[in-house]
């Protein structure tokens, strides 16, 4: 299997025959499932753009392992330039999809593991790094889609994994065999899982003494025996199934398309295990994965915000308010916020550093700031979009009303804006705006890549408060 085109990708998913449930029913063919098709189209865009000469500079990279041209989503960052190109690539794809295209999670997992397995081997004399390099060669050659599986259900958050009433609420090793391990548990909110080929499970948090069974990293095919995926419900997903104006963006997803991935005694051979019991490195791995994922958000959400700004301006134009000074000012503010989040992603990339493994790593404090800004600025951008778009965003009649033989004329007449723009065109842009600025789309900005509090914890650790106190003392001439 080598995936090059969108068609290759869809065929490979059809052949996978993973065990998936949607709204109480087993899915026989994921590629024919209307609820999945927008997410498949979004991920497919990463394949389509990579073979277009005008995008290959961002969408592809040269493998440091084989020297071959590969998808950037399977690349290990070899320079600061690579880190910046990652962010530029994400903005580009967002412009094409106005959605999440899901592949960054696996991308970030590979990079975080590359630098961490190198250091695990150095300390413990294990051979995870070599195994990972072999896995990388495979994914770079076959170009399959990998889910980065970090988040465990976690049960009672006040208790450690080994203290839970149900030990499976954190994913764990239940048996070690000569040829591999048996894993039980679940990964929650897994972006792109139902249209991916494999999952890289990782510990959800730093593990302490007694939690060694939970210090497990492994790559598992999503059609492996014992895996069940249950798709998560999203806001207005029935509209995607209708495929009309009301979906707003019926070709692509609203966010990534998330699933609960259940692992019921799944066997994984040793060559696919990249950590097993080294609890002392779980914190490092989680922090690195989080940093690399938080680096992304000014790129992807910045690109999505560009579309929201454009759609807001069109909505204003279609109702004759684009020239109003307060509308222009709101569009300026939205642009300011979008470029602010983008600049955060570029900045943490520009200050990236080389790790012992040779892979490059973004500045963790700035990456966390970037994601934290997303939890605020995307909400503010969306608030301003609602302000500019007007109450009609919430009260617009159905697409079918516009097409109705008796009442269609009323919708046509009373939903009309400026001359020269059809009611249908106006409705299309209002629905796009509605789709991108509410419900699931906003919650993803809040909690994707970690909830706001997890970034604030990083500020406490990385914010250099003692140094700042020293600087203040020096300027205030305080000697004690």
Partner 1 sequence: MKRVALKFCGGCDCTYDRAMQWERIRAEAVDKIQWVFLDDAPYDAVLMIHGCPVACPEKHLDPLYAKVLVSVNDDRTESRHIVAKLMEKVFIPHLVCGP
User: 38 or 352: whose CB is closer to partner 1?
Assistant: 352
Catalytic site residue from 48, 258, 287, 434: 258
Catalytic site residue from 47, 114, 135, 297: 297
User: 84 or 449: whose CB is closer to partner 1?
Assistant: 84
User: 92 or 222: whose CB is closer to partner 1?
Assistant: 92
What separation in angstroms does the CA of 348 have from each of 227, 311, 378?
A: 36, 29, 19
Alpha-helical (H) ranges within 143-191 are none
Q: How far apart are CA 294 and CA 105, in angstroms?
A: 10
Catalytic site residue from 75, 197, 293, 377: 293
Catalytic site residue from 250, 300, 348, 369: 300
* 100 assigned to active site: yes
Nearest distance from C-beta of residue 295 to partner 1, angstroms: 15
Beta bridge partners of residue 268, listed in sequence order? 181
Nearest distance from C-beta of residue 302 to partner 1, angstroms: 9
**Three-state secondary structure readout of 20-38:** EEECCEEECCHHHCCCCHH
Nearest distance from C-beta of residue 74 to partner 1, angstroms: 17
> What contacts 24+ positions apart, CB below 8 Å, involve 170-178?
170/204, 170/211, 170/214, 171/201, 171/203, 171/204, 171/214, 171/216, 171/263, 172/213, 172/214, 172/216, 173/213, 173/214, 173/216, 173/276, 173/277, 174/213, 174/265, 176/276, 177/267
Nearest distance from C-beta of residue 420 to partner 1, angstroms: 23
Phi-psi region of 67 (alpha: psi -120 to 50; beta: other; left: phi over 0): left
Nearest distance from C-beta of residue 358 to partner 1, angstroms: 18
* 104 assigned to active site: yes
* 369 assigned to active site: no
* 444 assigned to active site: yes
User: 118 or 360: whose CB is closer to partner 1?
Assistant: 360
Which stretches of the chain bind partner 1, using CB under 8 A? 53-59, 81, 85, 88-89, 91-92, 95, 303, 306
Q: How far apart are CA 119 and CA 133, in angstroms?
A: 14
* 258 assigned to active site: yes
Catalytic site residue from 47, 104, 117, 282: 104
User: 91 or 189: whose CB is closer to partner 1?
Assistant: 91
Sign of CA dihedral 178, 184, 187, 190: positive
Catalytic residues: 100, 104, 191, 258, 293, 297, 300, 444
């Amino acid at each position: 299997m080598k995936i090059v085109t969108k068609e290759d990708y869809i065929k490979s998913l059809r052949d996978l025959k993973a065990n998936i449930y949607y709204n109480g029913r087993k899915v026989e063919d994921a590629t024919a499932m209307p609820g999945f098709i927008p997410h498949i189209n979004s991920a497919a865009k990463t394949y389509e753009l990579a073979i277009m000469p005008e995008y290959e500079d961002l969408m592809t990279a040269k493998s440091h392992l084989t020297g071959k041209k590969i998808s950037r989503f399977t690349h290990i960052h070899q320079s600061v330039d690579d880190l910046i190109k990652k962010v530029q690539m994400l903005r580009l794809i967002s412009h094409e999809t106005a959605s999440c295209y899901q592949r960054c999670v696996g991308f970030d997992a590979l990079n975080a593991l590359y630098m961490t397995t190198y250091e695990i081997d150095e300390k413990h004399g294990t051979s995870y790094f070599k195994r990972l390099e072999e896995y990388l060669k495979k994914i770079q050659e076959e170009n399959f889609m990998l889910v980065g599986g970090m988040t465990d259900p976690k049960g009672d958050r006040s208790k450690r994994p080994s203290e839970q009433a149900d030990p499976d609420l954190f994913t764990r090793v239940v048996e070690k065999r000569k040829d591999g391990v048996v894993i039980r548990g679940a990964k929650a909110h897994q972006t792109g899982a139902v249209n991916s080929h494999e999952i890289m499970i990782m510990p959800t948090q730093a593990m302490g003494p007694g939690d060694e069974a939970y210090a497990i990293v492994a790559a598992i095919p999503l059609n492996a025996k014992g895996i069940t995926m249950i798709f998560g419900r999203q806001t207005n997903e029935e509209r995607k199934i209708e495929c009309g104006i009301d979906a707003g963006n019926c070709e692509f997803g609203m966010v990534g398309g998330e699933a609960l991935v259940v692992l019921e005694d799944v066997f994984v051979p040793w060559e696919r295990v990249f950590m097993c019991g080294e609890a002392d490195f779980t914190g490092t791995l989680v922090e690195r994965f989080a940093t690399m994922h938080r680096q992304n958000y000014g790129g992807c959400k910045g690109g999505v915000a560009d579309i929201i700004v454009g759609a807001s301006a069109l909505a204003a134009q279609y109702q004759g308010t684009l020239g109003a000074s307060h509308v222009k000012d709101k569009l300026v503010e939205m642009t300011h916020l979008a470029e602010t989040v983008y600049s955060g992603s570029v900045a943490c990339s520009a200050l990236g550093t080389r790790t012992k493994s040779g892979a490059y790593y973004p500045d963790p404090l700035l990456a966390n700031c970037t994601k934290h800004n997303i939890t605020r600025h995307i909400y503010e951008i969306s608030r301003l979009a609602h302000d500019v778009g007007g109450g009609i965003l919430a009260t617009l009649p159905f697409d079918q009303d516009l097409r109705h033989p008796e009442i269609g004329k009323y919708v046509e007449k009373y939903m009309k804006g400026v001359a020269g723009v059809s009611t249908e065109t106006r409705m299309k842009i209002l629905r796009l705006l509605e789709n991108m600025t509410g419900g699931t789309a906003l919650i993803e900005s809040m909690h994707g890549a970690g909830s706001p509090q997890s970034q604030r914890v990083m500020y406490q650790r990385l914010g250099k408060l003692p140094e700042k106190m020293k600087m203040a003392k020096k300027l205030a001439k305080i000697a004690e």
